[in-house]
Amino acid sequence: MKKINRIAILTSGGDAPGMNAAIRSVILAAHHYHIDVIGFYHGFNGLICKENINQTKCLSLVDTSNIIQRGGTILKSARCPEMQTEQGLKQAAKTLNNNEIEALIVIGGDGSFNGLIELKNYWHGQLIGIPGTIDNDLDGTDFTIGFATAVNTAIEAIDKIRDTADAFERIFIVELMGRHSGHITFNVGIACGAEQVLSFENFSIDDKEAKLQQLADEINTAQENRHSSYIIVIAENLWPGGAMELAKELRQKANVDCTACVLGHIQRGGSPVPKDRLLATKMGVAAVQAIIEGEHCIMIAEQNNTMCHINLAEAVKHHKVVNQQLVEAQENILALTAQNQY
């Protein structure tokens, strides 16, 4: 067990509900081990800015009060292109040294972790990542902080859309966040009882025309056999032009009337659900413990409800694939709702 005096923490990349709960937990755990915590503002920019005015804060127990339930991040976040330049990385290392930081905890996604991996070449302190992204696409951890809340928010929205869809027996196409992964899309699709789930895992752009025809046929059959609503959830960045364009094409080419909804940024905010608060609390503690255990260049992860450590390079090598059981559940069983008469 290593004696550590001072660590730093920052939040980077897209914000995710639960980031504040993780900050709180890091402060509490660090206090327990008599370690000072410096917060840097605005992601990696806090390390780059030459004048350190308003870019850092010494975080104490007072700062943990009443934030476990808040969305966003009290340390702010931002993109930081300078971290892709040698000059920026050197500046970051210098700032950390000037502040006598022994370890840096970054809460963020794969872009942020790539920044950490680069920083390793310029700074010799310990680097620890906490996976905070609604996309749940980091390899090696079952869940990332913010994912459960984003799924919850999307489902609450689609439950509302279902009311209107049912009233009008209408077709809705709902576009969900997730960058290049279908984690949100599949979880939301199944949990809201969507008639169709379209994501990277079950659709290739090469099959676009065929899929369009298939969707039109299924919708027409469904509309004839029963009179009911029909909801398609679709991953962002999947269909060229997104949900709006898919709706237009279904209308034009297949004579199917439908409405597109892009849920957008409401999926990022909001009070974190219990799962994210617990995950963030456990990961914050684990991050501080990893530091005193001398760990370096790792991501804190949860596997099978247990905390563990993953090499940072491993975490960002591939996007985590969607649980195959979920994909099959949707394909074999829930597709029923579209294919059958009732």
Quote the Cα angle for 66-69-73, to 5°. 85
Alpha helices in the chain (DSSP H): 19-32, 45-48, 86-98, 110-119, 147-168, 183-191, 208-225, 242-254, 274-292, 312-317, 324-328, 336-339
Minimum CB separation of residue 95 from a copy of itself in Å reads 19
For residue 207, give every residue at least 6 positions away whose Cβ sits within 8 Å of its Cβ, in sequence order, or none: none
Q: Which stretch binds a copy of itself (CB under 8 A): 1-9, 29-37, 206-214, 234-242?
A: 29-37
Contact residue for a copy of itself among 6, 36, 57, 72 (CB under 8 A): 72
Contact residue for a copy of itself among 92, 119, 157, 231 (CB under 8 A): 157
Contact residue for a copy of itself among 9, 10, 11, 55 (CB under 8 A): 11
Bridge partners of 197, per DSSP, are: 233
88-112 core/surface letters (b: 16 or more CB in 10 A; e: else): bbebbbebbeeeebbbbbbbbbbbb
Binding-site string for a copy of itself from residue 87 to residue 116, where x marks contact by CB under 8 A and - marks none:
------------------------------
Q: Which stretch binds a copy of itself (CB under 8 A): 109-117, 167-175, 207-215, 312-320?
A: 167-175
For residue 149, give every residue at least 6 positions away whose Cβ sits within 8 Å of its Cβ, in sequence order, or none: 16, 17, 18, 71, 134, 270, 271, 272, 273, 275, 276
Q: How far apart are CA 342 and CA 190, in angstroms?
A: 19
Decide if residue 78 touches a copy of itself (CB under 8 A).
Answer: yes
Decide if residue 245 touches a copy of itself (CB under 8 A).
Answer: no
Count CB atoms within 10 A of the CB of residue 181: 22
3-class DSSP state of 335: coil
Q: How far apart are CA 3 and CA 152, in angstroms?
A: 41
Decide if residue 340 touches a copy of itself (CB under 8 A).
Answer: yes
Binding-site string for a copy of itself from residue 213 to residue 232, where x marks contact by CB under 8 A and - marks none:
-------------x-x----
Query: Quick one: 100 or 331, whose CB is closer to a copy of itself?
Result: 331
Query: Quick one: 92 or 194, whose CB is closer to a copy of itself?
Result: 194
Contact residue for a copy of itself among 7, 10, 38, 68 (CB under 8 A): 68
Contact residue for a copy of itself among 2, 5, 58, 60 (CB under 8 A): 60
Residue type, 92: A
Annotated catalytic residue, options 63, 135, 137, 276 = 135
For a copy of itself (CB under 8 A), the number of binding residues is 85
Decide if residue 141 touches a copy of itself (CB under 8 A).
Answer: no
Token pair 């963020």 is found at 108
Contact residue for a copy of itself among 5, 69, 84, 252 (CB under 8 A): 69
Contacting a copy of itself within 255-314 (CB under 8 A):
259, 261-266, 268-271, 273-275, 277-278, 281-282, 285, 304-307
Query: Quick one: 90 or 270, whose CB is closer to a copy of itself?
Result: 270
Annotated catalytic residue 166: no
Q: Which stretch binds a copy of itself (CB under 8 A): 80-88, 114-122, 215-223, 319-327?
A: 319-327
Q: How far apart are CA 106 and CA 47, in angstroms?
A: 12
User: Among candidates 148, 137, 173, which has minimal Cα distance to 71?
Assistant: 148
Minimum CB separation of residue 203 from a copy of itself in Å reads 21
Minimum CB separation of residue 15 from a copy of itself in Å reads 4
Q: Which stretch binds a copy of itself (CB under 8 A): 70-78, 103-111, 119-127, 248-256?
A: 70-78
Decide if residue 205 touches a copy of itself (CB under 8 A).
Answer: no
Torsion of CA 287, 290, 292, 295, to 10 degrees: -130
Residue type, 154: A
Active-site positions read 135
